């Protein structure tokens, strides 16, 4: 007799610790931003994760600006060609041309006024052809001409439980 499975939604988990995104600096080229610590799906065994994010801008920014949220999957277990996969949150710039080849845009928030902006939920697996990466992390950049007042990103894992 085949086993039966129920879908299981995990508790939503913050990608960044505490106030890590407070004062995230402006990047005119949208190439410098902040990585979160890697999420290791080889132990979580999730079939997908729903990604959501939010950012707060305290003043009116320049026109035509965005906060961009990217998801990067590990090419190998430990490194990618542009950077190291450490275990902590850190600022990192993508080399020109590398961002679009090594990461997938989860979404961009068009920032037009002071206030709070939200993104998601976005399926992580859908960004990578329907397959959940073994190891992944988010990366945020912004070109509002201001530092962010605050922000956060979260993921909610989706798996199956045998019944």
Q: Summarize pLDDT for 96-115 with one digit per residue, the tens.
A: 667 777 789 999 999 999 99
Domains and CATH numbers, the chain: 5-162 (2.60.120)
Sequence-separated (6 or more) residues with CB below 8 Å from residue 133: 41, 73, 74, 124
Assess whether pLDDT exceeds 60 at residue 83.
Answer: no
CA 53 – CA 34 distance, rounded (Å): 14
CA 154 – CA 35 distance, rounded (Å): 13
Contact present, 67 and 108 (Cβ < 8 Å): yes
Q: Please give the average per-residue pLDDT across 10-39, as a whole number.
A: 88
pLDDT above 90 coverage of the chain, percent: 49
Assess whether pLDDT exceeds 70 at residue 89.
Answer: no
Task: Please give the residue that has the higher pLDDT: either 17 or 150.
Answer: 150
Separation in Å, CA 119 to CA 56, 66, 69, 128: 12, 12, 9, 18
CA 37 – CA 20 distance, rounded (Å): 11
């Amino acid at each position: 007799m085949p086993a039966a499975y129920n879908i299981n939604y995990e508790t939503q988990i913050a990608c960044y610790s505490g106030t890590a995104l407070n004062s995230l600096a402006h990047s005119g080229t949208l190439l410098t931003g902040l990585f979160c610590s890697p999420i290791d799906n080889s132990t979580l065994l999730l079939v997908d994760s729903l990604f959501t994010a939010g950012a707060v801008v305290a003043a009116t920014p320049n026109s035509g600006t965005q906060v961009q949220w990217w998801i990067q999957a590990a090419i190998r277990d430990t490194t990618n060609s542009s950077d190291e996969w450490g275990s902590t949150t850190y600022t990192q710039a993508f080399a020109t041309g590398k961002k679009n080849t090594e990461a997938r845009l989860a979404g961009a928030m068009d920032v037009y006024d002071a206030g709070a902006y939200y993104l998601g939920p976005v399926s992580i697996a859908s960004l990578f052809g329907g397959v959940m990466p073994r190891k992944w992390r988010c990366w945020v950049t912004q070109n509002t001409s201001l530092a962010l007042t605050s922000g956060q990103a979260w993921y909610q894992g989706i798996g199956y439980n045998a019944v």
